[in-house]
Amino acid sequence: MMQKQTTVAACVAMALGAGVTASALARQTASPDVERHVAAAREAAGAEHPRFFDYLCRAPQPRASRPVASRARTQPTRRQPPPRSDWYAEPAKVFDNLYFLGTRSLNAWALTTSGGIVIIDPLYDYNVEAEIIEGLRTLGLDPADITHVLVSHGHGDHYGGAQQLQRQFGARVLLSAPDWDMMLANTGSQPKPTRDIEVTDGQQLSVGDTQLRFTLTPGHTPGTISTLVPVRDGGRSHVAALWGGTAMRPTEEFYTRYVAGAQKFAAVAAEAGADVVISNHAIFDRADEKIEALATRGAGDPHPFVIGEEATQNMFKMIQHCAQAGLARLAR
């Protein structure tokens, strides 16, 4: 596995333990209900989603042993970007019309259409140039063709590069209204794009010959967008499901919304015949392993990202059981 886990992005690291005290966490020990949901999630994860399961189903951990009082002092100073050697990953063609432009831990995607390029989750301000703009050029694509930037949710590791793409290429930027609000209120260091398109539940975006379909799945953030992305492999059509926000906040309200969102998007994905899973973090879709496998794929070999409709639906089952395990931990 080429992935290093040391550069896990902010929104993956943030949720576990956020908003709960150590004593509340101590009460969240195993119970038969918890074990039942974790076992069901493990079974649904199978061989396809083991890293995702390991991440999502573990019990919340308190954040280090940092005393609460010290947290305020570590807040909004402008942090130094990590060195390129910590995050840089090569761009890669994944489908005929979908390209990986992410870092070692954070995925960004370019969807090519007859009407321009759609970027999904434009990374941070400090690596949008190296990974997305230069990445497109490396792959023989023109960043001036970027027409839209979809931001799955309003966390800095996904929107930080949006302002530059909006200013430099005139790209339209899409978030849900609740996540526009959340992002624009954020005092963190990542630059914010100017408010633009507000994505609503069930909305479709047509760019040239291609349509993306959005489902609002609150839970990770108030207005997380999950997306169906049409992809092609050697002329064969597939539908990729992108679960827009993954880490769960350990509260009843968030777990409940998370389960409802997973059920809703699972139904939409099933109806569309989704048979591919992509994510905005490699620990969830194993993009790093699969891109490595693609490099040695022979003619006629299966595409490593095409996992089939059953395994795609199993991911949603796993997600729901992990969230229900979380609820069961709280109920004790």
Q: Which residues bind Zn ion (CB under 5 A)?
A: 11, 155
Exposure string of 7-45, with b = 16+ CB inside 10 Å and e = fewer, is ebbbbbebbbbeebeeebbeebeeeeebeebbebbbebb
- Tell me whether residue 11 or residue 268 sits nearer to Zn ion (CB atom): 11
Nearest distance from C-beta of residue 244 to Zn ion, angstroms: 9
Least distance from Zn ion to the Cβ atom of residue 284, Å: 12
Query: Least separation, in Å, of the C-beta of 112 and Zn ion?
Result: 26
Nearer to Zn ion, 157 or 275 (CB): 157
Q: Which of 116/244 has CB closer to Zn ion?
A: 244
Least separation in angstroms between CB 198 and Zn ion: 19
Residue placing its CB nearer to Zn ion in the complex, 175 or 306: 175
Nearer to Zn ion, 9 or 136 (CB): 9
Closest to Zn ion by CB, 248 or 328: 248
CB of 224 to Zn ion, least distance (A): 8
Shortest CB 245 distance to Zn ion, Å = 5
Nearest-angstrom CA–CA distance, 17 and 307: 32
Closest CA to 171 of 209, 143, 208: 143
Long-range contacts of 72-77, Cβ-Cβ distance < 8 Å, separation of 24 or more: 76/187, 76/188, 76/189
> Where are the alpha helices (H) located in the chain, listed in sequence order?
10-13, 22-27, 32-45, 50-57, 68-71, 84-87, 134-138, 156-159, 162-169, 177-185, 252-271, 282-285, 287-295, 309-331
Nearest residue by C-beta to Zn ion?
Answer: 11
